[in-house]
């Protein structure tokens, strides 16, 4: 297995540009948790000319709506949600300086183009492993929109949060390259 890269959030542009599709990372520092409803609110605020509840420049957003914490735990299960649901909002946030996103699943061409143009990276987290991922979250607080419950904007502090760079700032996509490699190997094996 390749070496795991330790990165710190907020994520500066020079680090964003160094990360390559397929890199294994462990994220440390502050990330913000937001799903569809919170993204919609952020865009509504921007449309009204209001300031966002946090400085989005160099930040990472984790697409998660965590379960309530059990006694003695910081947070409940915190697995990634499908990233495509945020795609309608994401290019505008990337243009404002959003450096990274953590989720699962494919991204739209518009999101990938914004990542290339402004410099951002998309990390994949393992779906179905929310209980394990929650152990990497060492603190959690509501940053905005508490009325949204699990979908409120949250400020999380993470330690050694495991992820893989799915799409890098040059638009290289692990899902596409992985599919091509599989098809090539499959075709070679069929010839035998």
Question: How many CB atoms are located within 10 Å of the residue 146 CB?
Answer: 10
For residue 138, the SS3 value is: strand
3-state secondary structure of 157: strand
CA neighbor of 45 nearest in space, from 92, 113, 94, 85: 92
DSSP state of 169: T
C-alpha span between 140 and 90 (Å, rounded): 23
Report the DSSP beta bridge partners of residue 82: 104
Active-site positions? 39
């Amino acid at each position: 297995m390749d070496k795991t890269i330790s990165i710190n959030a907020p994520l500066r542009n020079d680090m964003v540009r160094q990360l390559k599709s397929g890199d294994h990372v462990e994220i440390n520092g502050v990330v913000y948790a937001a799903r569809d409803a919170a993204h919609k609110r952020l865009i509504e605020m921007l449309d009204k000319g209001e300031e966002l509840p946090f400085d989005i420049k160099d930040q990472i957003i984790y697409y998660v709506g965590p379960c309530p914490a059990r006694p003695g735990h910081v947070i409940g299960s915190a697995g990634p949600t499908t990233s495509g649901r945020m795609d309608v909002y994401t290019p505008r946030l990337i243009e404002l300086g959003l450096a990274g996103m953590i989720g699962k699943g494919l991204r739209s061409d518009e999101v990938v183009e914004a990542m290339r143009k402004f410099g951002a990276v998309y990390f994949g987290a393992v779906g179905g492993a929310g209980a394990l991922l929650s152990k990497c979250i060492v603190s959690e607080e509501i940053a905005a929109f508490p009325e949204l419950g699990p979908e409120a904007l949250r400020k999380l502090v993470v330690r050694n949060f495991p992820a893989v760079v799915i799409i890098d700032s040059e638009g290289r996509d692990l899902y596409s390259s992985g599919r091509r490699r599989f098809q090539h190997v499959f075709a070679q094996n069929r010839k035998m």
